Amino acid sequence: MNYLGIDFGEKRIGLAIGNDEVNIAFPLKNIAGDQGDEKILAQLIEVILSEESQEIVIGLPMLLSGMAGKQVSKIQEFAEKLKQALSQAHQKYPYSLPAHVPIHFWDERLSTTSAKRLMLDMGINTKKQKDKIDQAAASLILQAFLDAKKNQNV
């Protein structure tokens, strides 16, 4: 099964793809987060179709205390809009898109920090490659989900 991982941000939305057969997530690309929901949703649908994603994992920015961060409600609202857009897209592409694409939320505490640290460890200048951080964070979120699923903790 193919998955799309999303690290939702106001400036950039990092995307990653993964597969539970090989249990690995890869950074894919970014979408500009400041272009309005309609354009963002259209681009996400395009990626979901092209990557044949059957499930979506969206990172939720929880606080270290475990409480919901201020962005959580925005992300949950966006996920609802994505569900509606997926339903409409299914009507247009019934053979390419399942009738129901599950959307999972995953605690993304420190995913961006971990992505930066990983990139620095690899010798990548994070100041010059800011766009790669969001993709790497999406990949870390999705990888954590896939690992938990493999260990049947999801």
Please say if the pLDDT value at position 130 is more than 80: no
Cα separation of 35 and 133, whole Å? Answer: 19
- Structure tokens belonging to residue 142: 């999705």
Query: In one letter, which amino acid is 98?
Result: P
* DSSP type of residue 69: P
The full set of domains in the chain, from first to last, is 2-150 (3.30.420.140)
pLDDT tens-digit readout, 49-105: 999 999 999 999 876 677 777 788 999 999 999 999 999 999 998 888 888 999 999
Please report which helix (H) or strand (E) contains residue 58, including its range.
strand 55-60
